[in-house]
Homo-oligomer: A and B are copies of this chain.
């Protein structure tokens, strides 16, 4: 299923302490000693093409990892084969707090672009959690920041109209993506298809298309050919009732 890598994802440095993500403002940073512990737990770097499965539902859970570059998404498949996208992952996202009762992955992760990941030994990270309060506290903080986003997704799917929900999702993704780079202006590259938006919000892909057309007609948000354009973010947030307060600075493992 993994297509050939057309564009290479950036490679992380060999030493965690040189990680360029670590200095970005939306990440809470880790004490140098804790970074050294992490470095020790680090196993390898992995590079996968767009469409690749990073983790499958039910996989044995022998490693954890951090997304260094690229986009991915988490999803679950229901009994009848439908797909619910749970969240989108951006650089800095952590994969590993997701074991079910049998110790396996409770959801799957798939790459949207070529990605590079820093792989860590689950065993060593578990040990760090038990011995290094900085690391353990980070895990808690990661859980907390992801939870806030999940809460918002629940509101999106449960309570909002399809138009508002799509607008919220696109605004959220813009905020989260731009949190770790200088303001890129009106338009960003957002490597999703309409089917991803549909599956994230519980809509049919046909209806997701109609909603996107409607948003474009309303003039505040347009998304096509993987280009998300929001010329006036304040106006769009106002119009669709969006507020980004729930996005908190995340610990970067």
Contact = CB atoms under 8 A, between A and B. Distances in A.
A216 interface: no
Interface string A222-253: 00000000000000000001001111110000
B101 A246 contact: yes
8 contacts: A83-B159, A97-B140, A101-B249, A102-B245, A106-B245, A143-B144, A143-B146, A157-B158
Interface stretch (A13-21, A43-51, A130-138, A205-213): A130-138
Interface of A: 76, 78-80, 82-84, 86, 97-102, 106-107, 129-134, 136-137, 139-140, 142-144, 146-148, 150-155, 157-160, 199-202, 241, 244-249
A73 to B, nearest CB: 13
A97 B144 contact: yes
Nearest to A241: B79
A136 B144 contact: no
Contacts of A246: 100-101, 106
A78 B160 contact: yes
A148 B101 CA distance: 10
Contacts of A133: 129-133, 136
A143 B99 CA distance: 12
Given A133-B130, A136-B136, A158-B201, A80 B143 contact: no
Given A100-B248, A102-B245, A248-B101, A150 B148 contact: no
Contacts of A159: 78, 82-84, 202
A206 to B, nearest CB: 16
A76 B144 contact: no
A207 to B, nearest CB: 13
Contacts of A160: 78
Residue in A150, A158, A246 whose Cβ sees the most chain B Cβ within 10 Å: A158
A100 B80 CA distance: 36
Identify the 6 closest CB pairs spanning chains A and B, nearest first: A143-B143, A136-B136, A158-B202, A139-B140, A79-B241, A82-B159
Given A99-B248, A137-B139, A150-B150, 20 more contacts: A79-B241, A83-B159, A86-B154, A97-B143, A98-B144, A98-B147, A98-B148, A100-B148, A101-B247, A106-B246, A129-B133, A130-B133, A130-B137, A136-B140, A143-B146, A147-B150, A157-B157, A157-B158, A158-B201, A158-B202
